[in-house]
Structure 1
Amino acid sequence: MRFKTSFHMDAMITILFWSLAYVLTRLALQYFTPFSLGFLRYFIASCTLLAVALITKMKLPQKQDLPCFILAGALGFFLYMIAFNQGQRTVTAATGSIVISTVPVLTAFLAQIFYQERLHYIQWLAIVIELIGVAVLTLMDGVLSINTGLFWLFLAVLFLSLYNLLQRKLTKKYTALQTSAYSIFFGTILLALFAPSSIKEASHAPGIQWVYLAVLGICSSAVAYAFWSKAFSKAEQTSQVSNYMFVTPFLTSLLGFLIAGELPERSSLVGGAIIIAGFFLFIFGEKLYGAIQDQKDAA
């Protein structure tokens, strides 16, 4: 496996920017409402991608694929962003990333149903280990916030899992940049429902809030989703990419400490170590198992 030319680097860049998004969203929600933040974030992302589309002379999608792009925009940006921002109003950045990190499990189940993708039992074992790490990170020091925010976050999990499946389908026909750009464009059009209140809030926003918006829109949206789509276009299975989302709680805890001053608990270190162990087992476990079996057969 050539690491630089595989999907791993693309997925890692995405997860880094998404982990950062949990922290910055919490900070931005101190001023913006969830709906306004959702629109402004993806309006900036759309402007960024529109400039790229014009420079690269990006081709328009075919008419028969427009429903898929509209659905991707609705699931991945309109519905997901509303649910995510509503949930983040009442939970910590770490808790939000913990709940969203269950997306790989649901994505794997849905990929089996819709795409007949099958995981090796070692990969399922790795997912269980990663979930144990999430549980430790969640419960060991009482990090989990039990409130209505969790309901919204679990809705966000469903929307993002379905979005992942659509991205897998669209990247079979379109480039990663086209797939992410047109999905974000349609998502932003739907989010324009909140444009009037967004403009009002933005007109009085402090300078630091514009910094948060710029990073969320450009890095955590335009760039991150482009790399996410690129990872799906390279990977053999949907779950190989979505599994990276298990790393977000640990990264978010570290970034929350560095940026927002949210002190990491002991659970962040213990749970994070378990998650990383399961993560590497998912990536390398099947090959290691195969190598061991080959040695046994040779003997």
Structure 2
Amino acid sequence: MMNLRRTELLAAGAATVTVVLWASAFVSIRSAGGAYSPGALALGRLLSGALALAAICLIRREGLPPRSAWRGIAISGVLWFGFYMVVLNWGEQQVDAGTAALVVNIGPILIALLGARLLKDAMPPRLLAGMAVSFAGAVTVGLSMSDNGGSSVLGVVLCLLAAIAYAGGVVAQKPVLGSATPLQATTFGCLVGAVVCLPFAGQLVSEVADAPASATLNMVYLGVFPTALAFTTWAYALARTTASRMGATTYAVPALVVLMSWLALGEVPGLLTLAGGALCLAGVAVSRSRAGQTAAAPVNAPEPRPEKTSDST
């Protein structure tokens, strides 16, 4: 029982690191996006992340993932690390931040539906209720931040495609973590994503020469922290819970984005925005709570691996 409790606490801590860093990514994308095109920004971010992850793998002597994991790694790399980052960057240039947040937050709902269908994830009432509350909060935040007439059909479609790619990538990654370590899954998924984005290499080279140092540093930050570190802690937590519960956890991101925009950019949120953020956090708390004190171990959660593996981040 103590080992189970320790595993749950470590997974919760890893998930917290992920949502904080992913929230910070929205601020950095807004800064770097003014100097870099969507594809170039995605490629620069992925290359920075891949270099950091490869260095850690060499130090830890991780080696290659098992053959059985490559199919899932390839799918998640193409969908989540590659396609998702490009279309999200592009979509956020076409619509206002509120509309982007509204559409992209369909992702956790799609994860729950796909997880139940393909991974046989349980759908307890508390998870469903928490997701409903969080989605209502995300809608509130989005509406409060939306600009009248600031959206385009293309932008909405791009954000919807990003949400679908995000959900597909998460569901594809979940089975991988039964045989590969979180660091392996993240490193090689990031490498696959970088390969997918190589057609934007020419744009990246030309834009680096003209971009201000602050934009380039933000791109590198996106690669090292919200990608290399946050995707690894995500995989660590995902290996120990269901895809549906992890998807619900990301509803904390809109609330944190509001707070970070306030602190870093001086964008004072209105009462409606603050109320929406509070709903997001309340829904996450409900979705991660358990009905009883003797709850069963998470569905599909693997047994803890020996200490010599890369399960600790």
Q: TM-score over 0.5 for the alignment?
A: yes
Q: In the aligned structure 1, how far is the partner of 2:194 from the partner of 2:75?
A: 12
The one-letter amino acid paired with 1:14 is T
| 1:93–1:252 Cα contact (<8 Å) kept | no
2:36 & 2:143 partners in 1: Cα distance? 30
Question: What does 1:1-299 align with in structure 2 at a 5 Å threshold?
Answer: 1-2=5-6, 5-140=9-144, 142=146, 145-147=150-152, 148-235=154-241, 237-287=242-292
Native 8 Å contact 1:102 1:246 kept in 2: no
Q: Which has the higher helix share?
A: 1
Deviations 1:179-222 (A, max 9, x none): 11110011111111111110111122211112201210100110
Q: Whole-Å Cα distance in 1 between the matches of residues 72 and 245 of structure 2?
A: 22
CA distance in 1 between partners of 2:173 and 2:37 (Å): 28
> What do residues 138-176 of structure 1 show as CA deviations (whole Å, max 9, x unaligned)?
225646853232211111010010111122111111111
Name the CA distance, whole Å, in 2 between partners of 1:77 and 1:35. 12
Q: Give RMSD over aligned pairs.
A: 2.1
Question: Whole-Å Cα distance in 1 between the matches of residues 98 and 145 of structure 2?
Answer: 12
DSSP-derived class of the 2:197 partner: helix
Deviations 1:39-62 (A, max 9, x none): 001011111111111111121123
**Distance of aligned partners of 1:12 and 1:276 in 2 relative to their CA distance in 1, 3 Å threshold:** same
Aligned partners of 2:98 and 2:146 also within 8 Å: no
Distance 1:269 1:143, change over 3 A: farther
- Structure 1 pair 289–169 and aligned structure 2 pair: CA distance change class (3 A): closer
Would the aligned equivalents of 1:48 and 1:222 in 2 still touch at CA under 8 Å? yes
Between the aligned partners of 2:287 and 2:70, the Cα distance in structure 1 is 35
Cα gap change, 1:262/1:184 in structure 2, threshold over 3 Å: closer, same or farther?
Answer: same
The one-letter code matched in structure 2 to 1:267 is L
**Contact 1:97–1:248, Cα closer than 8 Å, also in 2:** no
Residue 143 to residue 120, structure 1, CA distance change in 2 (3 Å): farther
How far apart, CA to CA, are the structure 2 residues paired with 1:243 and 1:53? Answer: 29
How far residue 238 of structure 1 moved from its aligned partner, in angstroms, is 1.3
Ranges in structure 1 where 5+ consecutive residues have no aligned partner: 291-299
Q: C-alpha distance in 1, partners of 2:71/2:183? A: 18
Give the % identical residues: 23
Consecutive unaligned residues in structure 2, runs of 5 or more: 296-313
Check conservation: 1:83, 1:155, Cα contact below 8 A.
Answer: yes
Q: Secondary structure at the match of 2:250?
A: helix
Residue 78 to residue 142, structure 1, CA distance change in 2 (3 Å): closer
Q: Distance in 1 between the 2:78 and 2:56 partners?
A: 22
Q: Distance in 2 between matches of 1:62 and 1:132?
A: 41
Number of the residue aligned with 1:297: none
Q: Deviation at 1:262?
A: 3.1
Stretch deviating more after TM superposition (281-290 or 181-190): 281-290
State the partner residue of 1:295.
Answer: none
Query: Are the aligned partners of 2:99 and 2:143 in contact in 1 as well (CA < 8 Å)?
Result: no
Supply the distance in 2 between the matched residues of 1:57 and 1:122 (Cα, whole angstroms): 41
Q: What's the offset of the Cα at 1:27? A: 1.3
Contact 1:107 1:164 in 2 (8 A): yes
The answer on whether the counterparts of 2:46 and 2:223 sit within 8 Å (CA) in structure 1 is yes
How many residue pairs get aligned? The number is: 289
- d(CA) in 2 for partners of 1:215, 1:17: 10
Superposition deviation, residue 88 in structure 1: 1.2
Shift of 1:2: 3.9
1:293 paired residue number: none
Q: Distance in 2 between matches of 1:211 and 1:181?
A: 21
User: 1:3 deviation in Å?
Assistant: 7.5
